[in-house]
Amino acid sequence: MNILIIGGAGYIGSHVAREFLDQGHRITVYDNLSSGLRENLFPEEAFIHGDILDYTGLLRAATGDNTHRVSKMPVFDAIIHLAAFKAAGESMIKPEKYSVNNITGTINILNAAVEGGIKNIVFSSSAAVYGEPEYLPLDEKHPTNPENYYGFTKREIELFLGWYEKLKGIRFANLRYFNAAGYDVKGRIKGLEQNPANLIPVIMEAAAGKRPEVQIFGDDYDTPDGTGVRDYVHVNDLALGHLAALEYITRNDKSLTVNLGSETGISVKEIIEAARRISGKPIPARIVGRRPGDPAKLTASSKLAHEVLGWTARYSDPDTLIRSTWEVYKGTAK
Ligand code: WQD
């Protein structure tokens, strides 16, 4: 297939692009490089440096830059949309930024897809749509009550996609990622996220001597060791999930909303211990207060992904998550 990957130079997007290239698809990446990196681009793919808020540019990309084309045949078979701001904490302080980029930007993408006759969209949604869990593991039937504005933008986009399906015949896959982590197990992607706030890159920066310590946000949760438990899913697994989801919606002409998680809960302390063992670095850690809005435990049911996509996380064990990440960070160690 010929695929437009919007946000394809980012951390998750570059892993998705790599997987689709490996499977023989043709790729064009559209990215404004605000957090994406040139070094995450591959020689086999086309690249358009563009912003999703620039509707004209987006339309040109979606229609193959040929506004006078005679044929109305779509240029792309599918869009994979990963372009968003994703810091949940920041979204509570700067909702405007998330409204404009995540929501307005996505509406531009949907309208450009309609104009370009592109019928299939794979969307990076998030477990943040669920909010505080009423039960665990979270399945797709769990009510969606996002606790932060970021999660709200993801839920709204899922609803827009539902309407564009009804009104414009767009097929979509909403992929509700749990905690994305790890780096390409074959070592082909090395771009580091700038100013990370997520646990694993923070631990890696401490291991590499770029920050003095890891702050553990609370050890008094109702979990076995008192620290927060999350479902970490390797980006290579996520990338395979995109492939399976696009195949599913095109083959069955049917949309899909599905969790992508490992179904395994790992605590903050367990991740730090694994990182110490694998890196051989002491990684100083200090317990500080809870971070507002953090639930004690989040784990996914990926039963649906297994049943309909034949997808199961293969690389999401703590050792592979940490080892593949340390491979990238150790080169930056002081
Ligand atoms: C993981 C655990 C923290 C940093 C976020 C988004 C969510 C989704 C995934 C995209 C928690 C603890 C963290 C630190 C710590 N994103 N922690 N010290 O908050 O589960 O989820 O990423 O869709 O929307 O909110 O991820 O990596 O920030 O935290 O102790 O310096 O690590 O309290 O228990 P989170 P995280």
Q: What is the mean pLDDT of the chain?
A: 96
Mutate which of 291, 321, 322 to test ligand 1's pocket (most atoms within 8 Å of Cβ)? Answer: 291
Who lines ligand 1 at CB under 6 A? 86, 88, 126, 128, 150, 177, 179, 197-199, 202, 214-217, 228, 230, 268, 291, 294
Q: Do domains 2-181+233-259 and 199-231+263-332 have the same CATH topology?
A: no
Q: Write down the pTM of the prediction.
A: 0.97
Of 150, 183, 232, 315, the catalytic one is 150
Tens digits of residue pLDDT in 98-143: 999 999 999 999 999 999 999 999 999 999 999 999 999 999 999 9
What does the pLDDT look like over 67-109, one tens digit per residue?
555 566 889 999 999 999 999 989 999 999 999 999 999 999 9
User: Can you tell me which atom of ligand 1 is nearest the CA of 124?
Assistant: 23
Residue nearest to atom 18 of ligand 1 (CA): 216
Ligand 1, closest atom to CA 86? Answer: 10
pLDDT, tens digit, 9 for 90 and up, residues 280-318: 999 999 999 999 888 999 999 999 999 999 999 999 999
Atom of ligand 1 lying closest to residue 203 CA: 31
AA identity, residue 268: V
Tell me, in angstroms, the distance from the centre of ligand 1 to residue 145's CA: 18
Query: What confidence tens digit (pLDDT) does each residue in 55-69 have?
Result: 999 999 999 876 555
Which of 93, 217, 219, 272, when mutated, tests ligand 1's pocket best, judged by the most ligand atoms within 8 Å of its CB? 217
Domain boundaries, the chain: 2-181+233-259, 199-231+263-332
Q: What CATH topology corresponds to 199-231+263-332?
A: UDP-galactose 4-epimerase; domain 1 (3.90.25)
Q: Which class is domain 2-181+233-259?
A: alpha beta
Which atom of ligand 1 is nearest the CA belonging to 89?
25
Q: Is 315 a catalytic residue?
A: no
**C-alpha of residue 4 to centroid of ligand 1, in Å:** 29
